[in-house]
Amino acid sequence: MRIIKQFFTKADLILMAAIIVVGISASLLLATSKDSGSTVEIKLDGKVWGTYSLSHDREITIRDGKDRNVVKIYHGSVSMKSANCRNQVCVEHSPISRSGETIVCLPHKVVVTIKGGGGDEYDAISN
Residue 81 lies in a domain: yes
Task: State yes or no: pLDDT of 67 exceeds 70.
Answer: yes
Residue 56 lies in a domain: yes
Cα separation, 25 vs 103, whole angstroms: 27
Q: Are residues 54 and 107 in the same domain?
A: yes
Q: What is the CATH number of the domain that holds 50?
A: 2.60.320.10
Q: Per the confidence metrics, is the pTM higher than 0.85? A: no
Q: Could you tell me which residue, 92 or 4, shows the higher pLDDT?
A: 92
Cα dihedral angle (120, 76, 45, 62), rounded to 10 degrees? -160
- As for how many domains the chain has, the answer is 2
Residue 126 lies in a domain: no
Give the pLDDT score at 118: 56
The range of the structural domain enclosing residue 58 comes to 39-115
Percent of the chain with pLDDT over 90: 62
- Say how many C-beta atoms besides its own lie within 10 A of residue 48's C-beta: 10
